[in-house]
């Protein structure tokens, strides 16, 4: 599925049971870095879309916010409705981040835009709340992404707790395509990302994963990003 997506349909992403793989660094750090990263990712088998985050919602204002593209369809987070117009023709899938899952004005603006929406679960959102947000996004064009919730174990040991059971309810009970993000879920230790990725591959419809050519030097989420070789 290597197409430039103008008007991508949800069925295009999930045809023939293809497992959707979205990969890219946490953030675009510089034009050079992004060019080399995206080139390497495009040469890998089985990657369908590029994570290209030119703006980052950070919990701490002093953290790196990203720069502000491609040979694969591009997924990028939309932080405000004013991002929609400048990204037309560049960003193919609009990501709504965890911190904006309840920003219904933003989600409604993205819905009206017409591009597919990758809706990440709010980090304290119930399934019902996540489904409510999906209705604002439009049930026919939304891709749900479980990225971990706050459940207790994460304070010291994991960054969040990946709720595969909750994601399976979204997928099996409500019939929405549902992918998982192992990177933010287990973000304190990148060595654990592949096993969580395997758990996602065994259960859900796809994955969004952070990769970097020099993970230790990543400006954003260095602890969780993987080297390119995603096979182990």
User: Does the protein bind Mn ion through residue 208 (CB under 5 A)?
Assistant: no
Torsion of CA 25, 220, 6, 89, to 10 degrees: -120
At 112, which helix (H) or strand (E)? helix 104-113
Residue 147 touches which of ligand PEP, Mn ion, none (CB < 5 to 8 A by kind)? ligand PEP
Minimum separation from the CB atom of position 182 to ligand PEP (A)? 11
Minimum separation from the CB atom of position 184 to Mn ion (A)? 6
Of the pair 26, 197, the CB lying nearest Mn ion is at: 26
| One-character DSSP codes across 108-156 | HHHHHH-S-EEEEPPTT--HHHHHHHHHHH-TTTEEEEE--B--STTTT
The count of residues in the chain is: 232
Minimum separation from the CB atom of position 149 to ligand PEP (A)? 10
Pick from 29, 181, 205, 221: which binds Mn ion (CB under 5 A)?
221
Supply the angle between the helices 127-137 and 104-113 in degrees, to the nearest 10: 40
Residue of minimal Cβ distance to ligand PEP: 97
Pick from 26, 143, 149, 162: which binds Mn ion (CB under 5 A)?
26
Distance CA 28, CA 35 (A): 9
Which positions lie near ligand PEP, rule CB under 6 A? Answer: 26, 53, 57, 77, 97-99, 120, 147, 181, 184
How many residues in the shown chain lie near Mn ion by CB under 5 A?
A: 2
Residues that bind Mn ion (CB under 5 A): 26, 221
């Amino acid at each position: 599925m290597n197409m430039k997506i103008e008007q991508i349909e949800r069925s295009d992403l999930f045809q023939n049971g293809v497992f959707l793989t979205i990969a890219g660094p946490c953030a675009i750090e510089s034009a050079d870095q992004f060019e080399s990263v995206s080139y390497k990712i495009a040469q890998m088998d089985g990657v369908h879309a590029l994570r290209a985050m030119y703006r980052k919602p950070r919990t701490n204002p002093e953290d790196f916010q990203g720069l502000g593209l491609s040979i694969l369809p591009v997924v990028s987070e939309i932080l405000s409705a004013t991002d929609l117009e400048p990204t037309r023709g560049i960003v193919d899938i609009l990501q709504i981040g965890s911190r904006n899952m309840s920003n219904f004005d933003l989600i409604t603006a993205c819905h009206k835009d017409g591009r597919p929406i990758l809706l990440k679960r709010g980090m304290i959102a119930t399934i019902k709340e996540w489904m409510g947000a999906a209705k604002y996004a439009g049930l026919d064009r939304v891709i749900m992404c479980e990225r971990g919730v706050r459940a207790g174990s994460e304070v010291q040991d994991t960054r969040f707790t990946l709720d595969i059971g909750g994601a399976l309810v979204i997928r099996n009970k409500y019939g929405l395509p549902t992918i998982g993000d192992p990177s933010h879920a287990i973000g304190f230790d990148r060595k654990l990302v592949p096993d969580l990725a395997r758990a996602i591959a065994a259960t859900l419809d796809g994955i969004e994963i952070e990769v970097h050519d020099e993970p230790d030097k990543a400006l954003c989420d260095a602890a969780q990003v993987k080297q390119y070789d995603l096979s182990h």
